[in-house]
Amino acid sequence: MNYKMMGRFISQILFIEALFMIPAVGIGLYCGETAAVKGFALTLGLMSAIIAVLIMLCRGAPSAFYAKEGMVCVGVSWIVLSLLGCLPFYFSGEIPSYIDAFFEIVSGFTTTGSSILTDVEALSNSILYWRSFSHWLGGMGVLVFLLAITPSGAKGTGFTMHLLRAESPGPNVGKLVPKMRKTAAILYIIYIVMTIVNIIFLLAGGMSLFESVCTAFGTAGTGGFGIKNDSMASYSPYIQNVTTVFMALFGINFSCYYLLLLRQFKSVFKDEELRLYLGLIFGSTALIVLNLRGYYPTLEETIRHAAFTVSTIITTTGFATTDFDLWPAFSKAIVMMLMLIGACAGSTGGGFKCARLLLVLKSLKRNIRQVISPRKVQVVRNNGAIVDEKILDNANAYLAAYVIIIFVSFLLVSLDEFSIGTNFTAVLACFNNIGPGLEAVGPTCNFSGYSVLSKLVLCFDMLAGRLEIFPILALLSRSTWTSK
Amino acid sequence: MNIIIAGDGQVGSTLTRLLSAEGHDVTLIDTNSRVLESSQESFDVMSVHGNCASMEVLLQAGVKDADLLIAATNADEINLLCCTTAHGLNKKLHTIARIRNPEYTEQIYTMQDVFGLSMVINPEKQAAQEIERLLKYPGFLKRDSFAKGRTEIVELRVDASSKLCNVALIDMNSIVKCRVLVCAVLRGGNAIAPGGNFVLREGDRIFVTAPTENLATLLRNLGIITRRVRRVVLCGGGRVSFYVASLLEKNGIAVQIIEHDYDRCMELAEDLPDTNVIHGDSTDQSLLESEGLADTDALVSLTGLDELNMIISLYGQSRGVPQVITKLNRMENRSMVDALGLGSVICPKELCSNTIARYVRAMQNQSGAAVSLHAIADGQAEAIEFLVDEHTRNCNIPLKDIKLKPNVLLVSITHGSKTEIPGGLSSFRKGDTIVVVTSGRGTIRQLNDIFA
């Protein structure tokens, strides 16, 4: 293991985090929030000290960097990011327990949106901003940001592929253009432009600038931290609809947008994953609307809430306009199914990913055919291209790891004596980075009732879900740390 | 620049490393997805899986926006078709094809436009030319030519018996009795930029800049045998052997080729009337002896296996053959050859990649950009040739008044046909060709970069 290189990397990541904390301090000063500013200042001081020590210790790091280091680096940097990112909450006294603060920021960076806060509106503005901004940063990934700003041509540039792979969601991560730096920059530019457009749309609906920025951060990262206790319920139908559309847009693979920019419309419209994703959104919305007949006074309201909920759940955002826990069982079942599937690969959303679902279904279909005619030679295709067997194996292995983690976490969380529905959906909501589950962790409730152990298990789930399991599992594997 | 490299083999990956490190956008095409994957993990490049001669794959690799296509798969026909197709898709595209089969040479030169080729490269032929150049001046391990062949950087080994052993560089010119400049020394695998008080030790490899006309003087005064090569033994009868033999035949040098495959021997005998083709195993020491190894002037091991070549060369050296040249296919083995203290090493694939890299640099040749760039001292230093033009700073100022960057050395100035090894009073003017040596890789891109 190349610890020095990792240390240098982590110092860079922390530097970026510190840099992004500064606007929050500005907001705190502007609004005169002394406690919050003190919290940020303490955190920034501590971070600078850590950065300085890391730089001192890690001078002259050798540049050899391989898949294992890449994985571990991503896992460790996300944990360090969270351990320090939660300090403003803790130091400012707005979240008195460190574990709660940690849970809150992990939920932020992993774009989950599960909260332990009972009264969000009591938080100061700078803390609210930092909480929402963590979604934006975590959505596209802080390492991708680092890749976008590190000068290319630095030594050992090949390893960056390992980092992109470990941090970007999806079964088959590739570059858009030959240079890693440009790829990362393109992703971030698309991300920034879409966020700004979202803010403009929200401003046009009469939202204040601060609220639009925070809401847009939550939407763009498909996170779901609201700044109101009732999430999005009290906003106007226009704002709810805008958010529905933008959540769905941020759940689409960003390479589709790049192809659109290149005017390759045909390949975008023929993309199988996009078709599945849009099909799921429209299909589920239609089914829920049918199932909800008479539940809301008008058809418009039914469609609005159904579409919003489908969009928020499939993209794993976790905003809410209505308490879908009160919906009929069939609608709730659809919501739960969408929780499992998640958004497209290469988007800011979480979950199992539509692309992976497609691959698993296709490989299942092939295996069934194989039973019927054992000598049949078959290849799996995606968008017309043959899918490598290794990618299929990975998708199937991912499914296995996914199911095992869900059940182990479910077992551990169940020690807390909540109902089965609560515990199971809590795990689903955290692991898939959604936010609210059903029953006691439903859209109107929060996670504050869980014990410390459960909160840590759920934090683990959130990180594992965001980084797609393997980087976090790699941290736990003994072979990672020993040379044997 | 956008560069597509078709064929991710040895040449392909060497080029990928070179070109992506120089900041170009490289896209690789290969039919083997495992090779592509490992390239993706070690270099900052994109890859496309498929047949590079098919239009669809070329389009996918972005041929429409590319500036240069390099076809270096192992099949000549695919390389040709790839370049022709790509050129059909993008008329502005430069294409380089690796063509090795000598039977195609002529038609390609006459029909270069029809095929849409900008350059054809034949690694084996190049290697043969390089071997011939080395055989002309036995004693040099490597020669790099600059300024249209007027300046050379040659590599020499300092042996215990050498006149240069334990000599300070400041005293060197009085020994060799002509002006030369040591621009780099390799000691224990590390390149050193030596000062005047630097003392040479046994085992050092030194890189000497000299005007081409002084090479003979240099060799003579160093006491290195300058006897003309009259008899050469080539072990292995591959393509390189064929080219070397045909070049040497023209110079009236007696050539013996030892090849173990009888049919190949027959082919060679048909094509090379003046060469002795011997059917036998070149690792068989008694065969080598009976073919007169003791009184050959040079032994060149050119079989297809690196380990075999190394063994043959070691044997030749132990038998006191004045010049031994070893062909290596894998560059990684080079450090081992150096450890063994063998003579010159020729790596056709490296030569090929260097030529292409030079072409790429020439393509971007704006004002003040490098005319050519040679890696010396096992790639730890670069020798770069520049043309002085009106944008160059510090023209006509004596060098002692110019401050250069710390790791940069100005090693030669060529005015017209005269090469000068610069001293403090020398200066350069517009139209001159100058060569600089730098240990900082990739830091010098333009001539004005050398000034502090």
Is residue B78 over pLDDT 90?
A: yes
- Whether residue B336 lies inside any domain: the answer is no
User: Which has more confidence, A390 or A85?
Assistant: A85
| B62-71: b (≥16 Cβ within 10 Å) or e | bbeebbbbbb
Cβ within 8 Å, pair A158-B41: yes
Question: Stretch B281-305: mean pLDDT, rounded?
Answer: 86
B112 shares its domain with B131 = no
Cβ within 8 Å, pair A159-B41: yes
Cβ within 8 Å, pair A178-B21: no
CATH code: domain of residue B430: 3.30.70.1450
As beta bridge partners, residue B187 has B190
**What local confidence, expressed as pLDDT, does residue A483 receive?**
65
Chain A residue with CA closest to B19: the answer is A153
Least-confidence region, from A411-415, B19-23, B45-49: B19-23
- Whether residue B382 lies inside any domain: the answer is yes
Find the angle CA(B57)-CA(B62)-CA(B65) to the nearest 5 degrees: 150
Find the CB nearest A178 among B26, B33, B442: B26
Share of residues in chain A with pLDDT > 90 (%) = 43
Choosing from B66, B100, B121, the residue where a domain stops is B121
Specify the pTM: 0.80
B205 shares its domain with B109 = no
pLDDT tier, B442 (very low <50, low <70, confident <90, very high otherwise): low
Give dist(CA B295, CA A331) in Å, integer.
Answer: 94
| A356-373: b (≥16 Cβ within 10 Å) or e | bbbbbebbeeeeeeeeee
B292 shares its domain with B374 = no
Is residue A154 over pLDDT 60?
A: no
B108 shares its domain with B73 = yes
Structure-block tokens of residue B145: 């030519």
Give dist(CA A13, CA A2) in Å, integer.
Answer: 17
Cβ within 8 Å, pair A179-B44: yes
- For an interface test with A, give the residue of B44, B57, B445 to mutate (most A CBs within 10 A): B44
B186 shares its domain with B110 = no
Choosing from B103, B121, B139, the residue where a domain stops is B121
**What local confidence, expressed as pLDDT, does residue B388 receive?**
84
Domain span at B28: 2-121
- The strands making up B94-98's β-sheet, listed across from edge to edge, are B46-49, B25-30, B2-6, B68-71, B94-98, B119-121
Cβ within 8 Å, pair B43-A157: yes
- Whether residue B391 lies inside any domain: the answer is yes
Return the DSSP state at B158. -
Return the DSSP state at B4. E
B55 shares its domain with B116 = yes
Is residue A157 over pLDDT 60?
A: no
Cβ within 8 Å, pair A178-B46: yes
- Whether residue B348 lies inside any domain: the answer is no
pLDDT tier, B227 (very low <50, low <70, confident <90, very high otherwise): low
Residue in B24, B44, B145 with CA at minimum distance from that of residue B94:
B24
Give dist(CA B317, CA A43) in Å, integer.
Answer: 68
The total domain count for chain B is 4
Residue A336 burial class via C-beta count within 10 angstroms: exposed 0-12, middle 13-18, buried 19 and up: middle
Residue in A43, A79, A78, A61 with CA at minimum distance from that of residue A2:
A61
Question: Stretch B362-369: mean pLDDT, rounded?
Answer: 65
Residue B28 contacts residue B8 (beta carbons within 8 Å): yes
B137 shares its domain with B200 = yes
Residues in chain A closer than 8 A to B57 (CB atoms): none
For residue range B103-138, list pLDDT tens digits in order. 888 888 888 888 888 888 888 888 998 898 888 777
- Whether residue B88 lies inside any domain: the answer is yes
Cβ within 8 Å, pair A180-B44: yes
Is residue A153 over pLDDT 50?
A: no
B10 shares its domain with B103 = yes
Find the CB nearest B25 among A153, A174, A178: A178
Q: Is A261 on the interface with B (CB under 8 A)?
A: no
Is residue B373 over pLDDT 80?
A: no
Rounded to the nearest angstrom, the minimum Cα separation between B373 and chain A is 18
B115 shares its domain with B45 = yes
Rounded to the nearest angstrom, the minimum Cα separation between A76 and chain B is 21
Residues in chain A closer than 8 A to B44 (CB atoms): 152, 157-158, 160-161, 178-181
CB pairs under 8 A between A and B: 39
Least-confidence region, from A153-167, A463-477, B174-188, B259-273: A153-167
- Which 3 state secondary structure label does DSSP give B241? helix
- Whether residue B89 lies inside any domain: the answer is yes
What rounded mean pLDDT belongs to chain A?
87
B116 shares its domain with B10 = yes
**What local confidence, expressed as pLDDT, does residue B233 receive?**
92
B21 shares its domain with B97 = yes
Residues in chain A closer than 8 A to B25 (CB atoms): 177-179, 182
Find the CB nearest A160 among B26, B44, B46: B44
**What local confidence, expressed as pLDDT, does residue B71 receive?**
93
Q: Is A165 on the interface with B (CB under 8 A)?
A: no
- Whether residue B91 lies inside any domain: the answer is yes
- For an interface test with B, give the residue of A147, A160, A177 to mutate (most B CBs within 10 A): A177
CATH code: domain of residue B251: 3.40.50.720
- For an interface test with B, give the residue of A175, A258, A386, A391 to mutate (most B CBs within 10 A): A175
Cβ within 8 Å, pair B41-A175: no
**What local confidence, expressed as pLDDT, does residue B83 receive?**
93
For residue range A344-369, list pLDDT tens digits in order. 988 888 888 898 999 999 999 999 99
- Whether residue B441 lies inside any domain: the answer is yes
Least-confidence region, from A74-83, A142-151, B317-326, B399-408: A142-151
If you search the block for the tokens 């500005």, which residue do you land on?
A26
Choosing from B270, B294, B321, the residue where a domain stops is B321
Residues in chain B closer than 8 A to A388 (CB atoms): 33
B7 shares its domain with B117 = yes
